[in-house]
Structure formats: C-alpha cells, structure tokens
A and B are shown apart, each in its own frame.
Chain A
C-alpha cells in the first residue's frame, strides 16, 4: 500500500504542544462561555421555556417502565393520553399516582404487548386510543423506548440521572432549543416539489407541545395554549396528517390491531390485571377528518366489543365535548385537570360494575366522601 508515512511513526509518538498563553486563554474561554450560556438561558426563559421541564427521553420512559410491576396503574397511548391525563390530579383524587408510558406520535400497541408479556405486571392498564394512530399506524420509534428499558446499561442510567439534575435547573435544555432545530426553523425558503411537502407546515417536525415532570407527567405548554400563532402550527400539522389525499386505510391493519389487543388483554387478565380503553376529546377539523378516516364503528367500538373491555369514548359524555382544545387535538392544561377529575369516577364506576379493582385507594377520597 504505502511505503512511507509522513504522519505516522509506529515506533513512537511525538505530540508537540503549541506555544500559547494557555492558562489565560482557558480562563478567558471558560469565563466568556459561561456568560454566553447565561445569556442563552435568559433568552429562552423569555421565550417561555422553564426549568424543571424534562426532555421526553427514552431513558426517562425506561425509568417509569421499571415501575410498572405488580398491581401498578399504568397509562399507555399517544399524545392525547400523555397530555390529557393530569397525574397530580389523579393522585390527589385517588391516592395513587399512575405510571405514564404514553409516547407522543406513536401507537401504543408495542407498549401494550410488552406489558402483556411481562409476568411481573398484574395491574390496571389505561390505553389511550387515537383511532388513526392506534388502528392504522405501526410505530417504529417505540422500539427504542422499550429497548432502553430491556437493555438498560449503567451508562444509560447515569446519563439520565445527570440529565435530570440539570434539567431541573436549566430551562434551555429542551429538544426545541437545540442549535440544530433552531437552525432548521429559521424561516428558510420552501423548496418546491419536495416529496411529501405539499401542505406540510414550515417546520421540520412537530414543535414543543407539552411540559414534562420528572415522572413524565405532562401538560400543555403555556405558549401552545396562549399563543394563537404558535397553536396554528399544530393545527397545520394535524391538517397535514389527516389529509384525505393519503391512500385509503387498510382494514387489515385495524383487524390486526384488534386481534393483538384481544390476545394482550386476555394475557393481562389471566394474571389478575385489566385493561381500559379511553378515546380522548378532539374537536374541529381533527374530529371531522378522524371520524371520516377511522370511523368509530370500525375501530373503537369494534375493539371494545372484541376485547370485552371497558371503553370510554369522549363523545358519550357531552360535557367533555365542551372542553378547550387550543389546537383541536389536546386539552389545555386547566381542562386536562377538569377532564382527569371527571374521567376517574367514570372508569371507577365501570370497574365496579365489572366487579374489578377500584381506583380509589382511600375510601374517604371517593366523590362525596362515600
């Protein structure tokens, strides 16, 4: 190959250090970098980002998944199950804090299958059903979350532990303040004719919608709720996803999803656990298109019928259709609290009717102190 190498001597290494006033340089660099970082933090706080808002990482999910043992109460689903159930309210009213395993933009099928195959889980699983995602979409990203739990390593654990310490105190540690995302959202001109770009919002991906607590308790981010221009980005995304020009949904996919759920629900029940399916409130064009593309009779009702499970659909509760959904698909933070408070007794009564476990740990916390 090569006879002689200018840059490599296999016998020894000569590493020269360039002459510079290194101590002064290092001191100045560190000082200026700290000042710039403080300025960066102040800027993002001004944009509405807050300390104590955690990144939705696979490591954070894996830590919660590890708690899903025994008679635990677990939530799976997509973004609606994630943001519409307020864990604080649930805990205050029932005495038990649910384990939040919902993942934004993902079908929960893989998570339900994972819990069903886990002999250690014998609890109650509340599964959020977003008809489009649940019945017609096969997730691929969910595998990373499940792998993060099953293939946990000391490095993965320590990385999450250190991130938790920093994210509790620093506001700019967020997926939407990363330099790469900021660069991509700097108002670049659209490139005409890019595949799949027609009708797509001018963002590389869905921006920040929720704030997260250390145990993945989520609520709608204040800016998404109060800034109409920001909320319009989400409206555009949901319109894009529910675009009627997409290929028609394959009934086969829905049948496979229902068949898997029948099997998984039976497996969880065989260990003494149970599964409740919840269809969360939606409104406006999101509701219209979802009813057209994934009609309830072919999807949710069929699921409930074939699994013999408790199914709670928002449309059956007229008071829930009046809740505030700033971008048609997720509840505003205050309304998520109202919804959670109202959802608990509905589930509890349905469980009671089946003779199953109750949600209220302390009888005094039952509605009306009964």
Chain B
C-alpha cells in the first residue's frame, strides 16, 4: 500500500529545480505573464494559514488541565498529523524508523556479547541508511551505474525510478541514528518510555528540517510536565515572528527574485548579475534555513521545550572551522561526533586527519542531496578546512592576527570563499556552475544582463545589512541584545516584522531545506 501510494504521487520536483525547466525565452515569458499563485502546497508549512490554526489548537490542548501523559500523546498525535498532512502513508515510514531504533537500542543495551551488540547496531544502521539510500540516493546510484555501464560499452537501460523523497527523511534518520549510536557507544542509556522516544523522533517543530536534536537534549524534557511560562510563551511567539520574517519577507520576497533570476539563466551573465545572484542566494539560503530553525525553536518554546540554536551569525565567521561552528550547527556537530571522531579525528596522524576531514565534508555534501554538485560543495568546504588547518600549523601566531582590520579582511575572505561554494550548491550542473563562476570574474563571453534594478537593489541592501548584522552579533546572542534594548524599540521591531508578514501574505513556497 505504501509503495503504491509512493508511485501514485510520482516524482518530487525539488524547489530549486523549478526554473531550470524553462528555457531563456520561456523563462522571460513565464515570469511576467503568469500571476497565479501556487497555493495548496502539499506540506504543512510554518508559513501557511493551516499551521496557524494547527498551532493554535496544539497550544490550547497543551495548556488544558490534562495529565502529562495525555498531553504527550496529544503532542505525538499532532506531530503525526503535521507530517501526515503532506502524505498520510509516509507516517508509516516515520513510525517504522521509530520502532526499529527503539528496539535496536534496547537490544544493544541488553546484549551479552560484543558480537550481538554490533549485530543490533547493524540492524539500526541498515534500517536507517537503507531507507535513506532507497528514497534519497536510489535514483542517483542508478544514474551513475548506468553512466558507468555505458562508459564501459555496455548498453544498459535503467528502469524508471520515480520515487518521492519523504520530507525531512535526512533529518529524522540522523536523529534516530544518534540515539542508537549513543547507546552503542555507551554515551547514553536507552529511553525507558516508548512514548517519550516516539515524541523525540516526531516532535513536530523540528521534525522535517531540524535542528537535529540529540536524545540527551530532548528526551529528558519529556520526563516531567512542561508548560511555557508567560515570558517564555511571548518570547517563543517573538522568535516565530523573526523566523517567519526571515523566510517569507527576506528570503522569498527580497532575495529569491535576484537569485532565481541569475541562476535560472542558461548562459553567461554580466559580472554584476552573477555577483548579485550568488550574494542573494547566500542570503536566501541563510534566511530560509535559519528562518525555519528560529520558527521551530520559537514553536517549541511556546510549548515549554528548549531546542538548540542551529545558526550563530555564520557570515561573520573568520575561517572555516569558525564557519562550521556557526552554520547548521546541529549537522556539523552530528558529523563531528558520529563520523569524524569515529574515523579517528585528529588522533591518527596528520595525513589521516586531512583524509578524515575530507571524508566528513564530502559525505556532509552528499547528505544535502543526491547530486555530484553537492559533493563538490562539501569537497570545497573540506578543502578550505584542510588548507586552514595547514596554514594554522605552518604560520606562527602574529600579534596583528588579532587586529580589527585583519579580522575583517579574513571574515570577508571567508564569506567570499563560501559564496564560491554556493554556486555549486545552487547550480543545476557543473556546466552551469563553471559558466556562473566565469561570469563572476568577467571571463564568460557574450555575457548578458538579466536582473532589473528592482531585483538588484533590494537584494544588495538586504545582503549588506545581513553581513553587517552578523559582524555586530558575532560575539553575542539575540537574547542578550533583546534584553538590553529598550522595550519600545523591541515592540517597534516586532510590530514591523509582524505587519510585513501580513502584507507579504505568506509566500506559499516550501523551505529549501525540506528537499534534504
């Protein structure tokens, strides 16, 4: 039944692929002729009217005078509804993942021999990674196998592969894997309550796009009754407003037109268009993903639960190890704890350290999507990290390293190099990426202008504001800044964001990270 439903739904078209389906000519036509809206998005998005109603009901039920166990069951049902609102059959997949890891962890904990412990870990790994491979990487593997066979002179025609990628599968798979791995590595004991564990896996605020929460961060919070205090509740609402403002207003309304316009063009671009395009994308991907995380954190806080930060002003990073402490923190720490360190980390000599670093980042790239462009994106970050490590070891510390001018120069260099990686992340193919980078450096012949001032100016202002804000915020937290800001100013900013959300009327578009 599940398989039938999957095939009935058909192939999922990733958000960023949309414009690529249009030729230059038709792109110009379509962007200006069609004023219809894609409403009826198949997922339950934070930026949807349905979520407003859904969340209101959940908060009301959570505040009702009910036993804690009933409230937890309510939250579990709400989370399954949240996920099932996209495609009900896929709830079974989520439950399957939950049950497999619940039992696997118990069996690992109770196993008498190391062999049996490893066997039960393998069951968990095979279940999770097998599911991920089938749904996310099946088509990619088949495509590459076919290319390999054809290159070897074997005429191989692959079967049709139209499998829908279950929303958030990469996120919840990593979350449940962390649980069994923690139990296997004896970092944590298995959870006593299946209900608590199921809630840990499915908790709706962070289910489909993170943060990827560790069991030790969230499971204990389900043990005792939780209800937000009044300040927590209002701060949670403020965080949700900030997150949705980032997504709906900044990412979708101010930055997406420039990014989509530049990356949607096939062929050489004028340098200004290419630079604005990639800078706009750097802002779009940040505000889109950070917006999701901030909304998730706010939603959880409204219910009395604490989720970890996922971003810490990454575009103020000085160097790449600093960047990865600030960008998608829950993924980078996951990769560190469950991949880099088990590979040996930096404990097995200099050469192995570089190899481990590269493996970690290449797989990190592949985690984002089944495409070689993502692998190159990860590879570039691995290379940057390796070069940085090498330079730090080779060049002794100098006093002027701490000078403001040097730190700003290094932060700008880091941001510049990150933007180069974003080209591979966003481009549809290596050919497109090569052309785009050539365009950025005025090396592409027959370059054309594709962006209008109404695309360029808002994007430039938002990106400049973003980079400046990240720099000012790099050593502090949002909470600290809000606390020392006069209440009328906080109220003014909050009102502005809320009103902008209303007049932008939502954006109807999915979060980019849903496709991962």
A sample of 14 cross-chain residue pairs with beta-carbon separation below 8 angstroms, ordered by A number, consists of A1-B321, A11-B217, A18-B235, A22-B234, A32-B491, A56-B37, A105-B33, A140-B26, A157-B40, A175-B35, A190-B452, A194-B449, A194-B450, A203-B32
Q: Which of A26, A37, A166, A176 contacts B234 (CB 8 A)?
A: A26
Count class of interface residues, chain B: 35 or more
Given contacts A155-B43, A175-B37, A180-B257, contact A1 B504 (CB under 8 A): no
By beta carbon, the residue of chain A nearest B508 is: A57
Q: Which of B121-129, B369-377, B495-503 contacts A (4 or more CB under 8 A)?
A: B495-503
Given contacts A7-B309, A7-B312, A193-B449, contact A29 B85 (CB under 8 A): no
- Counting from the closest, the 3 A-B pairs by CB-CB distance are A59-B40, A57-B39, A156-B40
Question: When chains A and B are docked, how far (Å) is the Cα of A155 from the Cα of B510?
Answer: 12
Q: Which of A12, A153, A205 contacts B42 (CB 8 A)?
A: A153
A contact set with B: CB distance below 8 Å: 1-3, 5-26, 28-30, 32-33, 36-37, 40, 55-60, 62, 103-106, 138, 140-141, 144-145, 147-148, 150-160, 162-163, 166, 172-173, 175-180, 183-186, 188-191, 193-197, 200, 203-208, 237, 241
Question: When chains A and B are docked, how far (Å) is the Cα of A32 from the Cα of B253?
Answer: 23
A200 / chain B contacts, CB cutoff of 8 Å: 32
Q: Once the chains bind, are B237 and A204 in contact (CB under 8 Å)?
A: no
Q: Once the chains bind, are B487 and A25 in contact (CB under 8 Å)?
A: yes
Given contacts A17-B479, A156-B41, A188-B453, contact A206 B35 (CB under 8 A): yes
- Within the complex, the shortest CB–CB distance from B391 to chain A, in Å, comes to 16
Q: Once the chains bind, are A2 and B325 in contact (CB under 8 Å)?
A: yes
Given contacts A29-B494, A140-B26, A158-B50, contact A5 B232 (CB under 8 A): no
A177 / chain B contacts, CB cutoff of 8 Å: 503, 505
Tell me the total A-B contact number using a CB cutoff of 8 A. Answer: 279
Given contacts A8-B308, A151-B9, A156-B42, contact A56 B35 (CB under 8 A): yes
Additional pairs, 14, CB under 8 Å, beyond known A8-B333, A23-B230 = A1-B340, A8-B329, A10-B217, A12-B217, A18-B482, A18-B483, A23-B234, A36-B495, A58-B38, A140-B21, A151-B9, A162-B53, A205-B35, A208-B35
Contact with A along B178-222 (1 / 0, CB 8 A): 000000000000000000000000000000000000101110100
Interface of B is mostly: helix
Q: Once the chains bind, are B88 and A154 in contact (CB under 8 Å)?
A: yes
Flag whether B109 is at the interface (Cβ < 8 A): no
By beta carbon, the residue of chain B nearest A105 is: B33
Q: Once the chains bind, are B306 and A14 in contact (CB under 8 Å)?
A: yes
Q: Once the chains bind, are A154 and B483 in contact (CB under 8 Å)?
A: no
Question: When chains A and B are docked, how far (Å) is the Cα of A141 from the Cα of B19?
Answer: 10
Given contacts A1-B385, A33-B502, A57-B38, contact A10 B451 (CB under 8 A): no
By beta carbon, the residue of chain A nearest B452 is: A191
Given contacts A179-B253, A206-B33, contact A29 B491 (CB under 8 A): yes
Question: Which B25-79 residues have a C-beta within 8 angstroms of A?
Answer: 25-26, 28-45, 48-50, 53
Question: When chains A and B are docked, how far (Å) is the Cα of A166 from the Cα of B49?
Answer: 10
Flag whether B360 is at the interface (Cβ < 8 A): yes
Q: Once the chains bind, are A13 and B217 in contact (CB under 8 Å)?
A: yes
Q: Which of B22, B30, B48 contacts A159 (CB 8 A)?
A: B48
Q: Once the chains bind, are A55 and B37 in contact (CB under 8 Å)?
A: yes
Flag whether B324 is at the interface (Cβ < 8 A): yes
Question: When chains A and B are docked, how far (Å) is the Cα of A159 from the Cα of B455?
Answer: 29
Question: Which B484-516 residues have a C-beta within 8 angstroms of A?
Answer: 487, 490-491, 494-495, 498-500, 502-505
A104 / chain B contacts, CB cutoff of 8 Å: 33-36
Q: Once the chains bind, are A179 and B504 in contact (CB under 8 Å)?
A: yes
A17 / chain B contacts, CB cutoff of 8 Å: 229, 231-232, 235, 301, 479
B40 / chain A contacts, CB cutoff of 8 Å: 57-59, 62, 148, 152, 156-157, 159-160
